[in-house]
Amino acid sequence: MTEYHTVYKGPEGETTQWEDIQRKMGNLPPKAPVWKPEKYAPEVEAARDAAWVEGRDVGELREAEDAFDDDRFLEEYRQKRIQELQAAAARPRFGSCELIRGNEFVEKVTNAGPDVWVVVHLFKDGHAGCGLLQTCLDELAAKYPSTKFLRIVSTDAIPNYPDSNLPTLLVYNDTKCLQNAVGLNHYGGAKRITPEQVALVLNSWGPLCLSADQDEEQAQQAQIRALVARMVDKKAEGARDEDDESSDFED
């Protein structure tokens, strides 16, 4: 006759008093840890605050409209940010330093419009100072396309304009000439002129070298950092050239 035995098995991890005694005596291996599921932690959604709004584009801000129904301040901020982005997108974009002739000056400079800032370089080919300044303006024109950068032969703009006044920069806005800068001393002279130095000077005259997401203080800080970085690179390059010359001499 077959005998049946019932084996009782308690909850997982539960041991008998006898097993506990045997473990204390070292006759049984240590008790295996009881598996426990990890504590549930719901995914934290990013806070939709002013910082979140600042980092979104127009499409994302429009999609998030419902999220701000209960917060009047953030909803107003969201709307303001949309308007800022749309205004930035609507600004005229230029992107290069265009060569113009004397008969185009009134149309492209004086009558450029109240929302357009214009920088005009009076130059002559072969003039060393004009060449240095133009190199900087070409870089700035590409970096700040909302400002209109132009260049014109000095005597084409003003008959008999003396070469001793070159290079000359004119800054126009809303039909008015707001600045007339002669020479390179404004930018540190021929040995120190850089695009960043020119940008700092231009921004002291008006909002001429600003990115779409920058105010004047942010632009100034960014340009100072870029100026320092350029100076460090230039110094390092000079040190490498000196090392190369020393090596050639030793050889």
Q: Is residue 147 part of a domain?
A: yes
The residues that bridge with 173 in the sheet, in sequence order, are 117, 176
3 located within any domain = no
Does residue 201 fall inside a structural domain? yes
**CATH number (domain holding residue 179):** 3.40.30.10
> For residue 246, is it within any domain?
no
Average pLDDT over residues 115-131: 96
pLDDT tens digits for 17-55?
Answer: 777 777 777 777 877 776 777 776 766 655 555 666 666
Answer yes or no: is 53 within a domain: no
Overall number of domains in the chain? 1
Domain enclosing residue 167, as ranges: 90-212
Strands 168-173 and 117-123: antiparallel
pLDDT tens per residue across span 215-243: 666 666 766 776 666 666 666 665 555 55
Report yes or no on 188 lying in a domain. yes
- Whether residue 129 is predicted with pLDDT greater than 70 in this model: the reply is yes
pLDDT tens digits for range 132-175: 999 999 999 999 998 999 999 999 999 999 999 999 999 999 99
Confidence (pTM): 0.57
Task: Check residue 187 and give its pLDDT.
Answer: 94
For residue 191, the number of C-alpha atoms closer than 13 Å in the C-beta half-sphere is: 0
